Amino acid sequence: MTATILDGKTVSAALQDDIAQRVEQFKAKTGVTPCLAAVLVGEDPASQVYVRNKERACAKVGMTSQLFRRAEDISQADLLALVQQLNQDDNVNGILVQLPLPKHLDASEVLDAIDPRKDVDCFHPSNVGLLSQGRPNFLPCTPHGVVQILKHFDLPTAGKNVVILGRSDIVGKPLALMLMQRTSQTCGSDYANATVTVAHSRTPNLKELTLQADILVAAIGVAKFVTADMVKPGAVVVDVGINRTDDGLCGDVDYDALLQVAGAVTPVPGGVGRLTVTMLMENTLQAAMIQAGG
């Protein structure tokens, strides 16, 4: 048995085409071009790549983007002032502050300062709270990308045992919330209604849990952590990890080994990462619609 490869490029391209059409409809109706503002502090190479990818995606779907570069030694007060400036700018619909920030800055305070209606990363406490109640304005980009991949390849989560490795605020927690809901805001009840287990570094007997998973999501941040003997034959494995090693980029699962065990698996690169940027475009359009009064 060889696993089906869940190609994120294919899913991303289809979704971006749909977003582009809806952006054109929105522009024709309102005269407004959705705009995403990105704040990049310092010279982190990975962050610069991510921001460039977001700028290109904006152009591809017909949105505009603004980039605000600031020196690594920017003060907390000056960064908060920039966020407030963008909050008050009616031409900016979405704001993202690229993480990680330099250690002297309080990232939580900065993210909390973003207007919730412009919080397209869905990190603001108000948006997290709405997500937990099943009535979100926005869905977190990476978890939403995971669900969209499953939908595209007709791999429903309803009634399935889903094990998520990792409890981060960016992936593990919000994905668990989304999959436990009675229905998915964008994909319907077939892509919710899961029985979800969230495991982490303090979880005992981890292999026993992962072997029970119909769908295993790896977001633990350790290169090739998930080995073939941890996966139930035929299970769906979604690899959210991106790790830079001497041999290049790899995910949190031993991809080559899992191809002979799993029923389906996402590659790294070329998997979930493509969807993260695409769902950011979706959120920026949604933010523009909310700010336009519909």
| Residues labelled catalytic | 54, 98, 121
The answer to whether the CB of 52 falls within 8 A of the CB of 44 is no
Six-digit token pair at 136? 């979100």
- Strand (E) or helix (H) holding 4: strand 4-5
47 a known binding residue? no
β-bridge pairing 94-97 and 161-165: unpaired
Q: How far apart are CA 27 and CA 19, in angstroms?
A: 12
167 a known binding residue? yes
Give burial (CB, 10 Å; 0-12/13-18/19+) of 199: buried
168 a known binding residue? yes
Q: How far apart are CA 240 and CA 255, in angstroms?
A: 12
Q: How far apart are CA 282 and CA 279, in angstroms?
A: 5
290 a known binding residue? no
The answer to whether the CB of 161 falls within 8 A of the CB of 195 is yes
Residue list for the binding site? 166-168, 242
Binding site as annotated, residues for NADP(+): 166-168, 242
